[in-house]
Amino acid sequence: ECKHNITYWMDEEYIGIGAGAHSYSKGYRYNNYPNVPKYIDATQKGNAIQNKVKVTVKDELEEFMFMGLRMTDGILKKRFKDRFKKDIYDAYGSELCELKKLGLLIEDNNYIKLSNYGVDVSNKVFEYFIK
């Protein structure tokens, strides 16, 4: 795990500063102008944001799953329930059962994580959660 990426993988807010920087705050993703002169001009006018996009609940669910599975510990099931107000199996029961059956996921009382084989084919695992 790279400490720099953990903020993204844990779906926490972050602020990017500078030309081309990206941010995530209060359910929106932002990116600043990538062109430095344009960024400087926009900053002087009070707004360097080029794009602002609302993140949908569907996006949040998908990202929570594939980002969480990038973590060594995997997804804390309680954290999913706290965040989305439903059990992880209510959202992804068939996908989780299939992936466990294929030996790609391991589950204990608290966590769901990639197996060693699941790590090797993680991009295929993530596809199960992107609808």
The CATH classification number of 57-127 equals 1.10.10
Tell which residue, 77, 131, 82, 130, has the closest CA to residue 106.
77
Q: What is the pLDDT of residues 97-106, one digit of tens each?
A: 999 999 999 9
The whole-number average pLDDT for the span 8-35 is 88
Q: What is the pLDDT of residues 38-72, one digit of tens each?
A: 999 999 999 999 999 999 999 999 999 999 999 99
Tell which residue, 83, 107, 82, has the closest CA to residue 95.
107
User: CATH 1.10.10 residue ranges in the chain?
Assistant: 57-127
